[in-house]
A and B are shown apart, each in its own frame.
Chain A
Amino acid sequence: MYRYDAIDQRMLDERVAQFRDQTQRFLAGLLSEDEFRPLRLQNGLYIQRYAPMLRIAVPYGMLASEQLRKLADVARRYDRGYGHFSTRTNLQLNWPRLEQVPDILAELASVQLHAIQTSGNCVRNITADHFAGVAPDEIVDPLVWCELLRQWSAFHPEFAYLPRKFKIGVSGSPADRAAVEIHDVGLQAVRGRGGAIGFRVLVGGGLGRTPIIGQIIREFLPWPHLLTYLEAILRVYNRYGRRDNIWRARIKILLKDRGIDAFRDEVEQDWTACGRDGPATLTAQEIERVGARFTLPDYRELPARCDTLERQLATSRAFALWYERNVHPHRVAGYAAVTLSLKRIGVPPGDVTSDQMEAIAALADRYSFGELRVTHEQNLVLANVERSDLHAVWREAHAAGLATPNIGLLTNIIACPGGDFCSLANARSIPIAQDIQRRFDDLDYLFDIGELDLNISGCMNSCGHHHIGHIGILGVDKHGSEHYQVSIGGSQGPRATLGKVIGPAFGADEVATAVERLIDCYLACRASDAERFIDTVRRIGIEPFKEYVYASPHPTPTRDPRALASA
């Protein structure tokens, strides 16, 4: 966890004072709605369907237990006692009062939290791999680089009024848990000759109305150039990105219009003329300084194998199931990372109450060096748990409703807030997620289906990342009523793919059944138990699924794949 120094803190406090003044002028009628809008957006404040919404940044997903306690406290005192973790690892409060937002921000600043640039046409909160620093497959720990990017992007004077929002994702592992390919800029930390750190830079990825996978603009950018090179990319975008049409304003469209080669040339030209090797070139000294301000877990020396744990796994099936899904490998012997599922049946995906936040903070203090991670799948991670503590963590998480063993499974649904809260929505997401979760509440069935990402967005803005769900569900408006388009075959990670729509949209009450039929079809067609849903789709294409789902009259759904296969 990076700890602010006095300067970081002073700037944050000054930002709160600045926004307090702006809010007061707005309330006094001295600042028009139009003029206030970008100011409040860059402080995380939306005006939503029923109330304002405040989006609080969790920079690159890292959260300290005292910060989470503050969030619990703020949610209780200024809101309705709960918050929503979004796919950009921010925490959203759905019912704050505009007049109180400066006070909320001041409270947050006291624990080094803020809502800076969580919205608006600027460089947004940086996202990263939620196992950063602990993943065994990691090549470079991205956290220091994320913090450098946070400081560089915060209050960047030149890029506060871009054509559109700008998202940067960072990953240090080939598994790419940060979905860097769907960011405006994706940074894949790699090692070059002699082990030198650098970045593979991708540009122009993004979901939304025109989903595109990012393209490589630079195969290897040596680390000292990280900031100056990004500035060149942003400058070309700031000057030439379209501003006449909000749907064509992201950098991906500029890239599409110019082509990656011409775009690269322009960036290189700007970079060479205006920034390369200049004072913003990073120094080893700074990397060291930032690194040293990170509190590092004080790991104990432990054996890799824990006999108590093995016994516990052998005797409790419920614990074993949770262990299978929610416990992840760690680079340090004797430790594991644990996902606390915010996807309990009956609760909107990503929602967490103040009481739960406090319980989670206590878990983090007791078992994980007081630190947490927020994942883009809207769950929380205890990244440093001793293996001998896993059973205790499971018991306590279970008591707090946070131990649903569904990470990577169908009911770990990623969903945006949708029509229940968001004024841009075509349709609601939460009731659909809940319908589906109820339909698949049988654990054996769920485990039999195996790994499956299901994503729901309430509109084309794609906050629920439906394009990269193995099953993606998109809310659409069909003659004024809520409908849902279903796609399959999307995937995240390296070589991400975009799903294909299977056919006409479904009514709200038909979605869960459609998903069930997709699953029936998969179970009937999979080559073996080891073949995941997405693998089957890749192997046989979407046609068999389409035919099966839209068949009418429909064969009675069956959960016996063999019966279905021979039918």
Chain B
Amino acid sequence: MPHLIRHRHATREHWRLLDAAALKDWRDGAFESGIQHAGVLIPLALWLEQPKEQRGAARGAFGVVLQGDDEPGALAADLDRIALIAIEFARFNDGRGYSIARLLRQRFGFRGELRAIGDVLRDQLFYLQRVGFDAFELRGDQDVAGALRAFGDFSETYQAAVDQPLPLFRRRIA
């Protein structure tokens, strides 16, 4: 099971991707409760295909996954029902997920867990947490202890972002 860092603590957890076949089980409520350290992630397109009532009634350990070319705005109406949004990084250097995260937090006001999945590496963590991610499913080969240290790479930051909504210049003048 891959390492997950949540709120800067290491744990082990993996949520599998829900395919169309498993969708029925989910509809039947099979994932509703009692699932420890596991849940399902529903691709955005599949989620949007569900009837509105179904989306409205959804409960349990599920999240929606966005890819780099997905529109976070498509989830705007559902955000208060969704506990977790995962953004998948097909490649660690695909920067689109950073802007999607920031939009979800800042423009759409998403308050649930925002998890980076896919090619998630230690050297990107500092910036990822700045734009609003609070959970990171590390790629299998990553050193967890080192990854945890990465959050301390910088003790200060210049820009306004999600982790620190005030830019340095509004804090500097004390």
Taking beta carbons and an 8 Å cutoff, which residues of A are in contact with B? 5, 7, 10-11, 14-15, 18, 22, 30-31, 35, 38-39, 121, 151-152, 154-163, 227, 235, 238-239, 243, 270, 273-275, 278-280, 282-283, 285-286, 289
* Contact status B96-A155, CB under 8 Å: no
A residues near B98, Cβ cutoff 8 Å: 157-161, 238
A163-B69 Cα distance, complex, nearest whole Å: 13
Q: Known contacts A151-B168, A286-B169; is A238 also within 8 Å of B94 by CB?
A: no
A residues near B166, Cβ cutoff 8 Å: 279
Question: Could you say which interface size class chain B belongs to?
Answer: 35 or more
A274-B167 Cα distance, complex, nearest whole Å: 15
B residues near A289, Cβ cutoff 8 Å: 169, 172-173
Please provide the chain B residues from 154 to 174 with a CB less than 8 Å away from any CB of chain A in the complex. 154-161, 165-170, 172-173
Instruction: Determine how close the nearest CB of chain A comes to the CB of B160; give it in whole angstroms.
Output: 4
Q: Known contacts A155-B158, A161-B95; is A286 also within 8 Å of B173 by CB?
A: yes
* Contact status B123-A39, CB under 8 Å: yes
* Contact status B121-A35, CB under 8 Å: yes
A151-B131 Cα distance, complex, nearest whole Å: 17
With beta carbons under 8 angstroms apart, the residue of B93, B160, B168 that contacts A38 is: B93
CB-nearest residue of chain A relative to B107?
Answer: A274
* Contact status A239-B154, CB under 8 Å: no
With beta carbons under 8 angstroms apart, the residue of B99, B130, B169 that contacts A283 is: B169
Q: Known contacts A14-B154, A35-B121, A238-B95; is A158 also within 8 Å of B160 by CB?
A: no
Please provide the chain B residues from 90 to 107 with a CB less than 8 Å away from any CB of chain A in the complex. 92-96, 98-100, 102-103, 106-107
Q: Known contacts A274-B106, A279-B170; is A157 also within 8 Å of B153 by CB?
A: no
* Contact status B123-A35, CB under 8 Å: yes
Instruction: Determine how close the nearest CB of chain B comes to the CB of A3; give it in whole angstroms.
Output: 14
Please provide the chain B residues from 103 to 142 with a CB less than 8 Å away from any CB of chain A in the complex. 103, 106-107, 121, 123-124, 126-128, 130-131
Q: Known contacts A22-B123, A280-B160; is A160 also within 8 Å of B95 by CB?
A: yes
Given contacts A155-B154, A157-B161, 18 further A-B contacts (CB under 8 A): A11-B158, A14-B154, A18-B153, A35-B121, A38-B93, A121-B93, A151-B169, A152-B159, A155-B158, A158-B131, A161-B95, A227-B167, A235-B99, A274-B102, A275-B106, A283-B170, A286-B169, A289-B172
Instruction: Determine how close the nearest CB of chain B comes to the CB of A50; give it in whole angstroms.
Output: 26
Taking beta carbons and an 8 Å cutoff, which residues of B are in contact with A? 92-96, 98-100, 102-103, 106-107, 121, 123-124, 126-128, 130-131, 143, 153-161, 165-170, 172-173
A283-B167 Cα distance, complex, nearest whole Å: 11
| Complex A-B: 22 CB contacts under 8 Å | A7-B172, A10-B155, A14-B154, A35-B92, A35-B121, A35-B123, A39-B123, A156-B158, A156-B159, A157-B130, A157-B157, A158-B95, A158-B102, A160-B95, A161-B94, A235-B103, A270-B107, A275-B106, A278-B160, A279-B165, A279-B167, A286-B172
A residues near B157, Cβ cutoff 8 Å: 11, 155, 157
* Contact status A157-B95, CB under 8 Å: no
A278-B160 Cα distance, complex, nearest whole Å: 9
CB-nearest residue of chain A relative to B165?
Answer: A279
Pick the 9 closest A-B CB pairs, nearest first: A161-B95, A157-B130, A157-B127, A280-B160, A274-B107, A286-B169, A151-B158, A158-B98, A238-B99
A235-B159 Cα distance, complex, nearest whole Å: 15
* Contact status A162-B123, CB under 8 Å: no
Instruction: Determine how close the nearest CB of chain A comes to the CB of B163; give it in whole angstroms.
Output: 8
A residues near B158, Cβ cutoff 8 Å: 11, 151-152, 154-156
CB-nearest residue of chain B relative to A235?
Answer: B99
B residues near A227, Cβ cutoff 8 Å: 167
B residues near A10, Cβ cutoff 8 Å: 155-156
Q: Known contacts A7-B168, A238-B99; is A161 also within 8 Å of B126 by CB?
A: no
Q: Known contacts A152-B159, A155-B157; is A239 also within 8 Å of B96 by CB?
A: yes
Instruction: Determine how close the nearest CB of chain A comes to the CB of B75; give it in whole angstroms.
Output: 15
A208-B94 Cα distance, complex, nearest whole Å: 23
A22-B130 Cα distance, complex, nearest whole Å: 20
CB-nearest residue of chain B relative to A5?
Answer: B172
CB-nearest residue of chain B relative to A159?
Answer: B95
A residues near B92, Cβ cutoff 8 Å: 35
Q: Known contacts A239-B99, A279-B160; is A160 also within 8 Å of B169 by CB?
A: no
A160-B124 Cα distance, complex, nearest whole Å: 9
* Contact status A238-B96, CB under 8 Å: yes
Instruction: Determine how close the nearest CB of chain B comes to the CB of A173; give it in whole angstroms.
Output: 26
B residues near A235, Cβ cutoff 8 Å: 99, 102-103
A39-B92 Cα distance, complex, nearest whole Å: 12
With beta carbons under 8 angstroms apart, the residue of B93, B167, B168 that contacts A161 is: B93
A residues near B155, Cβ cutoff 8 Å: 10-11, 14
CB-nearest residue of chain B relative to A120?
Answer: B93
With beta carbons under 8 angstroms apart, the residue of A30, A157, A163, A238 that contacts B126 is: A157
A residues near B107, Cβ cutoff 8 Å: 270, 273-274
A170-B51 Cα distance, complex, nearest whole Å: 52
CB-nearest residue of chain A relative to B119?
Answer: A35
A residues near B160, Cβ cutoff 8 Å: 278-280
* Contact status A162-B95, CB under 8 Å: yes
